[in-house]
Amino acid sequence: MSQKDHSAVTGRQIAAARSLLAMGQAELAASASISVPTLKRMEASAGPAAGMANNVRAVTTALEAAGVAFIPANGGGPGVRLRENRDH
């Protein structure tokens, strides 16, 4: 989706995206220039990712740059998938 409304991204989408990329929390946190505890709080969110909007945006941008596409809740619920032509 290259989700423009980063506030709609859920904590579970972030955790799933990181898992798809086989990326550790420390690696993603460093890539997004946030702390690991901040990322852990985001991922623990059952609904929209908890945290400051700029931090959520930094995380989703880092995941998109690594090759993840965020899928909006379009009747089947929100999700993530790997893009076909990823850089990694």
Domain membership of residue 65 (yes or no) is yes
pLDDT in tens, 16-75: 999 999 999 999 999 999 999 999 999 999 899 999 999 999 999 999 999 999 998 877
* Structural domain boundaries, residue 49: 6-82
Question: What pLDDT shows up at residue 7?
Answer: 64
pLDDT greater than 70 at residue 87: no
pLDDT band at 3 (very low <50, low <70, confident <90, very high): very low
Domain membership of residue 75 (yes or no) is yes
Domain membership of residue 87 (yes or no) is no
Question: What pLDDT shows up at residue 20?
Answer: 96
CATH number of the domain enclosing 33: 1.10.260.40
When divided into structural domains, the chain yields a total of: 1
- 10 Å CB burial of residue 50 (0-12, 13-18, 19+) is middle
Domain membership of residue 64 (yes or no) is yes
pTM: 0.86
